[in-house]
Amino acid sequence: MSAEKPAPAETKSRIEFQKAPEEIRELIKAVLQEERAVMHMKTRPDIYKNILQHVKRLVQ
């Protein structure tokens, strides 16, 4: 028998995040994913264009 690993406690920031409407949560995830891919590049002209597209896709 092996003891089950306890589920990690919810963090305050996750609770705060979960309180937001789904539209906002999805937008934040999309923005952070875009930023994560390019955050160390010196030039990154597409990021703002991509974020705008996410905004227009998610908020109708």
Partner 1 sequence: MILEKLIIENFRQFRGKQEILFSTVPNRNVTLVHAENGFGKTALLNALLWGFYGHEGLTEDLPRKEVLIHEGTAARSRNPASTSAKVTILFTHDTEKYRLERELTLEQQKLDAKKTDLVLEMNKDGMPMTERHPRERIQALMPFGISEFLFFNGERIDHLAMEENAALITDAIRQMLGLNLLQAGIVDLRHQSVLGKLRAELRDRTSAEKAAKIDEQARVDDDITEWGKRKETNQKNLLATDAELATVNSKLELNREAHHLQLRRNDLEKQEQGFVERLTATTKRLGQIVAEDSYALFAGDLVKRGREIVDKLRNEGKIPARVLNSFLNELLESHRCICKRHLDDGSAERKAVEELMHYAGDQQFNNAVGALDNALGRIEEGAEHTRRSLQAINGERLKISDDLKAVREELAQISHKITGKDDEEAHKLEETRVKLSLKQRELLAEQVKNDLKLEEFQKRREGLRKEIQDIIDSEADAQKAQRRLSAVEESSNLLQRILDIETKELRPVLNQDIDEHFRKIIGVGYWAELSDDFKLKIMKRLDVSDADSDAVKSLETEVALSQGQRQVTSLVFIASLVALARRRSEIPTIIKGLTGSEYPMVMDSPFGQLSQFRPGVARWIPELAPQVIIFVSSSQFEGDVATELKKSKRIGKRYYLAYHGPNIQPDAKRELEIGKNSVTVYFEEKDEFTEICELET
HEC string of 33-45 equals HHHHHHCCCCCCC
Instruction: Give min distance, CB of 3 to partner 1, in A.
Output: 17
Nearer of residues 1 and 22 to partner 1, judged by Cβ = 22
Report whether 50 contacts 31 (CB < 8 A).
no
Instruction: Give min distance, CB of 1 to partner 1, in A.
Output: 23
Residues that bind partner 1 (CB under 8 A): 8, 10-14, 16-17, 20, 23-25, 27-29, 31-41, 47-49, 51-52, 55-56, 58-60
Which residue type is seen at 33?
Q
